[in-house]
Amino acid sequence: MTRDAAISHVTDYFEAGTFQSDLAKLVSYRSESQNPADEARAESLSYLQEAMLPRLQALGFTCEIINNPDPKGGPLLLGERVEGEDLPTILTYGHGDTVRGQEGMWREGLEPWEIVEEGDRLYGRGTADNKGQHLINIAALEAVIATRGSLGFNTRIVLEMSEEVGSVGLPEVFHSYKDRLTADVLIASDGPRLQPEVPTMFMGSRGGTTFDLLVETHEGAHHSGNWGGLLADPAMILSHALACITDVRGQIKVPEWRPDSLTDSVRAALRDLPVAGGDGPQVDPNWGEQDLTPAERVFGWNSFTVLAMVSGVPEAPVNAISGWARATCQLRFVVGTDPEEVIPALRRHLDANGFERVQICAHDRGFFSATRLDPAHPWAQFVGDSIRETAGALHVLPNLAGSLPNDSFTDILELPTIWVPHSYRGCSQHAPNEHVLKPLCRDALKVMAGVFWDVGAKPVPARTR
């Protein structure tokens, strides 16, 4: 009944191949929340009913699967395991939904809904985002119970099936079930490590909002010889409008989009953190805010991105001036940026630069708000010390560069939030060939078994709001 024994137990779970076979079962569910088909919605419910519910019940959880109050969202599972009213309570979270499988776009020999092992990689949709990550945490809880006979703390869990469509319905559920979701802290997993061989811990996330910029100048497409010089070109107008949002190196020019929350303490936390190296594209040192370090640009500042652009028919162009042009854009923003003001600020900026005819069409999925917890928070210190005891090194971020529904935990449930990601930046999440690294998963299982062991064995921080 020791910490090392729990870590050894979860290591054996991995070495026996059980983790891989369990992950393969989870990946086989085609739980695409971005797919509106009835079959996809049925798969999301089956994931909770068949894959999650029996396992959690065997672990001593009392569970309930509830309908999403938003018709665009999938079901949710709420569960709890209570060991004593005087014990601390940990809330954990995961999402079983995925982006679209993108069948036919994966490399030869790979399929989205089947695990394929190649060397240290396990390929399949959801391996990294997020089925593999909450499987690791559940297996770590199982290892602690198998070793000690109990956790030594109370546990609550939320599993949702709508994260990839903006976690629709999650805030409403948290408001309705707030009394059943009280806890001392959220400890969950999503996102990537900074480097695959070193654990990462972050305590918040950048917010994100997506919208289209649309220019419509005339009806239909018209011959470029007969009408060139007479009809406005919507693609040119749109290109100039985009160019007024940032400069040539991507520095944001919309005044309200430039945050003031990159404080000295945040800079200190980000100092010397690696953002280059490992798998993935090479970092461009000449892109982004000129006076910031690469870590400050991605974790401490806002970034504007054009996700897609189209005018006419690119795959079959003709000699005609299109009547429209559209760009799908995204702003990732840190604490200090008012999400409700993102679109109005852009409207004012475009109008001031002469682009009144550019329409802004916000996406239905809305946005995640930005959140951040001080790295000196007692729970961040507690979990960080535990991870270092198991793994040695640790990268600590005030917030993730990506976006999560973390604001629902901080603003509605009023919890400090600790995220320990079990993927890495080269995992191809949201793209063909998504995968996890086997050594990273093995390491993550050990890290989380150590964290959960320590929560039940050591004095934990007092509950705060």
Where is pLDDT greater, at 264 or 82?
82
35-84 tens-digit pLDDT: 999 999 999 999 999 999 999 999 999 999 999 999 999 999 999 999 99
**pLDDT band at residue 274 under the 50/70/90 scheme:** confident
Q: If you average pLDDT over every residue of the chain, what do you get?
A: 95
**pLDDT band at residue 1 under the 50/70/90 scheme:** confident
Percent of all residues in the chain with a pLDDT value above 70, rounded to a whole number: 98
401 pLDDT higher than 70: yes
- Look at residue 465 in the predicted model and tell me its pLDDT: 56
- Considering only CA atoms, which of 242, 262, 266 is closest in space to residue 253? 242
Query: E-strand spans in 116-271?
Result: 116-118, 121-123, 154-160, 185-188, 192-193, 200-202, 207-216, 222-223
Where is pLDDT greater, at 263 or 257?
257
- The whole-number average pLDDT for the span 219-244 is 97
Lookup: tokens for 86: 């005087």
Lookup: tokens for 53: 């519910």
- The whole-number average pLDDT for the span 295-314 is 96
- The whole-number average pLDDT for the span 262-280 is 83
**pLDDT band at residue 278 under the 50/70/90 scheme:** low
Q: Kindly give, in sequence order, each residue whose CB lies less than 8 Å from that of residue 123, ignoring residues fewer than 6 positions away.
A: 106, 110, 115, 116, 117, 433, 434, 435
Q: How far is residue 105's CA from residue 159's CA, in Å, rounded to a whole number? A: 29
**pLDDT band at residue 265 under the 50/70/90 scheme:** confident
307-331 tens-digit pLDDT: 999 999 999 999 999 999 999 999 9
275 pLDDT higher than 90: no
- Look at residue 366 in the predicted model and tell me its pLDDT: 58
Q: Kindly give, in sequence order, each residue whose CB lies less than 8 Å from that of residue 84, ignoring residues fewer than 6 positions away.
A: 154
- The whole-number average pLDDT for the span 191-199 is 94
Helices then strands, each counted (H, E), the chain = 14, 19
277 pLDDT higher than 70: no
List of domains in the chain:
3-205+371-457 (3.40.630.10), 207-265+286-367 (3.30.70.360)
Per the document, the length of the chain is: 465
- The whole-number average pLDDT for the span 93-109 is 97
The count of other CB atoms within 10 Å of the CB of residue 357 is 15
Question: In sequence order, what are the beta bridge partners of 210?
Answer: 330
Pairing of strands 154-160, 89-95: parallel
What 3 state SS string does 391-436 have? HCCCEEECCECCCCCHHHHHHHCCCCEEECCCEECCCCCCCCCCEE
pTM: 0.89
132-175 tens-digit pLDDT: 999 999 999 999 999 999 999 999 999 999 999 989 999 999 99
276 pLDDT higher than 60: yes
Q: How far is CA 76 from the centre of its chain?
A: 17
Percent of all residues in the chain with a pLDDT value above 90, rounded to a whole number: 90
**pLDDT band at residue 403 under the 50/70/90 scheme:** confident
125 pLDDT higher than 80: yes
Query: E-strand spans in 242-350?
Result: 303-310, 320-321, 324-333
Question: Longest C-alpha distance within the chain, in Å?
Answer: 84
Handedness of CA 438, 440, 445, 446 (dihedral sign): positive
